[in-house]
Structure 1
Amino acid sequence: MLDVEPLLAATGSMPPCGVDLEYDADFLELEALASAKPERQFQEEADEPPWHDIMARVSALLGRSKDLRLAITYTRAAAHDSGLRGFHAGLRILTGMLDRYWDDLYPPLDAEDDNSTALRVNALAALADPYTPFDDHVTLLHDLRAAQVCQVPGERLSVRDILIGLGKLTATAGDRTVTLSLVQGVLAEAVKQDREALADALSLPQTVEQLANLMSARFGATDAPSLTVMMSVAQSVAGACRAVVADQPSTPASGVAMNGVASVQQTGFVAMPSPDRLDSLVKASSQKHGNSQLATRDDAIAMLDAVCTFLEKTEPTNPAPLLIRRARALMGKDFIAIMQDLAPDSLAQIHQIVGKEPE
């Protein structure tokens, strides 16, 4: 793994976070370099930004200022320049900044608006799930998929290759043919040559989870960028790598009935406990972990996060966390906002029924 501590160290001038680079010439030049649009479907191929040069520039600027915009640019550039380990390093820098320097971090909190975090949320917009597949190019998801996972003589694998090989991403024009056997073979050869070759891929889901939880704590569950799609990609890649690193241990999810819930193997689905049984399970869990009953919306959101974390660790192929996180992101929205998110095509009919015109 790349060492990010030097980049997270307090600035030498005006510590711990240095100066605001909003109008700094070097910062503006960096943003211009990194703003080149990547190739999009049905468009001519565009030149890639000079990622190696951008890496050097942003690393130098991080010594002058602890700015979330710099961390996003570093993550994007590192994914192209250093592969998945670079992307992983960028997420760790973001996590470190939010954890260590919250009070003094750039962009600053808005003191005139009750310390509003809006500027910081906007700075992290590239982290969030894309609204449509065509929005991928403006999010870090595009850079994550382009990141190289490993390379062996005569072959290399990117995150995109692995997703295509696993059948989790549809190949488009220009993509090479990737099969599951090819993915498994290259990963196995990489591990054979270097046992630590897949270390970043294996630990990426944990880092994404840490960042997601920290952003929820800092910004609030409804304002924090959703990392649902990024987590899904990270888990898929980690699962493919884990399969070639060691044999998978059997888990209770393989079909053993637990706590009165029917076995997945026996029924094909997980049965919902009765209301009385569900209440007893919640009370037992509260007693076991020393937690009180749910009293607020934030308590409920924290419980949903805990459920997702448990399932992601014990049943990494279970799709439930994706749906739970999706529902969690909607909890703070009104009906119109929810329909805008889930079914935007239905808004015209809704506005006609309720008499509210689209904004």
Structure 2
Amino acid sequence: MDERNLLSLSPLSGTDPAGEDLEYDELYLKLDELASGVPSQEMAGSVHEGREPDYAALRECCLKLWERTRDLRVAAYYALAELRLDGLPGFKAGLEALYFLVDAMYASCYPKLDPDDDNDPTERINIFQLLSPPPVSMSDGANCLSLLRRLPLCSRLAYTFRDYLRVCGMLDSKDNALDSALFQAELHQISGTELTQKQQLAAEILQLCDNLIERFNQQAEGGVLTLDTLQRELKLLQGFYAKQLQLRGGENEGAQDSDPGAQDAPAAAGAGAEPAAWMASPAGAAAAVPFKAEVFKIEDLTIKNRSEALQLLDKCAAYFKQAEPNSPLPFLIKRALRMADMNFIELLGEIDSSAAERGREQLGVRDDGQD
């Protein structure tokens, strides 16, 4: 276990090692809200600045919930918060918590599996979309990719992983174009030791992703978990560090062997070497493909199942609660969500308590719900 991990990777004491079901707990319900932030918006000719998610509060919320429950969603949000607050080391700690739940507590952790539904793992798989969304998805996993791209490439420079992708032509940007030669020249300020450490850390996280996928699919007996989008992003980041080491003449030859694309990286020397050289290789070209598909368009959204439809409604409610505090829509949407799992008599009672009684009388339904 990573020493940075603030979560205890052990079952809880008590009759249920997974602790409490906190799905409707006030603190648990705050997770989506804390992770959402507030987008910038224009009203009456003026622009109201948005606010990024409160990741410190999100991490604190996850830590408090972890004292009471062992829940995949809590661990996933913890990984997001740690990625923003502590970078790759923190993200690794969050993934370790997820692996612990999948490996040691798959049968008991939350959300619980339903034996009457053949232990369908779909709800659990959807949680992982927080970290690795499909190309067109309603999931906030795109936020995880954004956090990865905001990571500083090193401790001494202001350049981010996103800057590298822009220089390589893998990301379009409305910002001023970066000078490729200057970018590459300044990268030589990164010490070989730091490059090696970061490359190895990225490799460890990729291996952890592989282990997580393999173990989940073993446990799920037919469930198909993938983390393709996240893994492609991490491979690009690892490839960057491996390439920089090769450009310096192999300061860490061992690091090259662990990277699937490192052997294709150019061994060119000199500060003027183009970072796009690696992208011209087969490994770089293959890794570039996903970025074109990940541009989200709301008109392309396809809701695949009931669970996704309900999640989308819940996210709509969270948006209006943040962006338009006086709007009645959050209350109406939340009521609709409550009603989604009700039977006919319960629906009548939700609309009008007396109507439920009349419905029972007309349909011959006893108070215990039996015919």
TM range (shorter): 0.5 to 0.7
Deviates further, 124-133 or 70-79: 124-133
TM-score by length of 1: 0.59
Q: Deviations over 1:205-249 (max 9, x none)?
A: 22222223233333456x434322221111111111123346258
* Corresponding residue for residue 319 of structure 1: 286
Q: Distance in 2 between matches of 1:133 and 1:83?
A: 25
Q: Distance in 2 between matches of 1:160 and 1:130?
A: 20
- Mark the CA change 1:188 to 1:240 in structure 2 (over 3 Å): closer, same or farther: farther
- Mark the CA change 1:178 to 1:87 in structure 2 (over 3 Å): closer, same or farther: farther
Q: Distance in 2 between matches of 1:178 and 1:89?
A: 35
- Mark the CA change 1:184 to 1:82 in structure 2 (over 3 Å): closer, same or farther: farther
Q: Is the 8 A contact 1:129 1:139 kept in 2?
A: no
* Corresponding residue for residue 130 of structure 2: 126
* Corresponding residue for residue 88 of structure 1: 92
Q: Distance in 2 between matches of 1:198 and 1:39?
A: 35
**Structure 1: runs of 5+ lacking an equivalent:** 255-314, 327-336, 338-359
Aligned residues: 258
1:190 Cα offset (Å): 4.7
One-letter amino acid matched to 1:238: Q
**Is the aligned partner of 1:231 residue 2:235?**
no
- Mark the CA change 1:38 to 1:9 in structure 2 (over 3 Å): closer, same or farther: farther
Alpha carbon RMSD of aligned pairs, Å? 3.9
Q: Is the 8 A contact 1:110 1:116 kept in 2?
A: yes
Q: Which has the larger radius of gyration?
A: 2
Q: Is the 8 A contact 1:51 1:80 kept in 2?
A: yes
DSSP 3-state at the match of 2:155: strand
* Corresponding residue for residue 145 of structure 1: 149
1:46 Cα offset (Å): 2.3
DSSP 3-state at the match of 2:224: coil
One-letter amino acid matched to 2:17: P
- Mark the CA change 1:133 to 1:112 in structure 2 (over 3 Å): closer, same or farther: closer
1:77 to 70, 74, 81: 81
Q: Distance in 1 between matches of 2:125 and 2:6?
A: 24
One-letter amino acid matched to 1:147: L
1:134 Cα offset (Å): 9.0
**Is the aligned partner of 1:110 residue 2:114?**
yes
DSSP 3-state at the match of 1:210: helix
DSSP 3-state at the match of 1:3: coil
Q: Is the 8 A contact 1:202 1:242 kept in 2?
A: no
* Corresponding residue for residue 351 of structure 1: none
* Corresponding residue for residue 196 of structure 1: 197
- Mark the CA change 1:11 to 1:134 in structure 2 (over 3 Å): closer, same or farther: closer
Q: Is the 8 A contact 2:37 2:54 kept in 1?
A: no
- Mark the CA change 1:142 to 1:214 in structure 2 (over 3 Å): closer, same or farther: farther
- Mark the CA change 1:169 to 1:320 in structure 2 (over 3 Å): closer, same or farther: closer
List structure 1 segments (4+ residues) > 4 angstroms apart after TM superposition: 12-15, 37-40, 133-139, 190-195, 248-251, 315-318, 320-323
**Is the aligned partner of 1:210 residue 2:214?**
no
1:28 Cα offset (Å): 1.5
* Corresponding residue for residue 285 of structure 1: none
1:2 Cα offset (Å): 5.2
Q: Distance in 2 between matches of 1:237 and 1:39?
A: 29
**Is the aligned partner of 1:241 residue 2:244?**
no
**Structure 2: runs of 5+ lacking an equivalent:** 42-46, 262-281, 294-303, 305-371
* Corresponding residue for residue 52 of structure 2: 48
One-letter amino acid matched to 1:27: Y
DSSP 3-state at the match of 1:196: helix
Taking the TM superposition and a 5 Å limit, the aligned residue runs for 1:2-13 are 3-4=4-5, 6-13=7-14
DSSP 3-state at the match of 2:190: helix
1:139 Cα offset (Å): 5.3
TM-score by length of 2: 0.57
1:183 Cα offset (Å): 5.8
- Mark the CA change 1:193 to 1:147 in structure 2 (over 3 Å): closer, same or farther: closer
Q: Is the 8 A contact 2:195 2:245 kept in 1?
A: no
DSSP 3-state at the match of 2:8: helix
Q: Deviations over 1:15-73 (max 9, x none)?
A: 53211111112212233222225679xx9752101111211221222222111111111
Q: Deviations over 1:178-223 (max 9, x none)?
A: 63763674475254568635542242322222223233333456x4
Deviates further, 62-71 or 180-189: 180-189
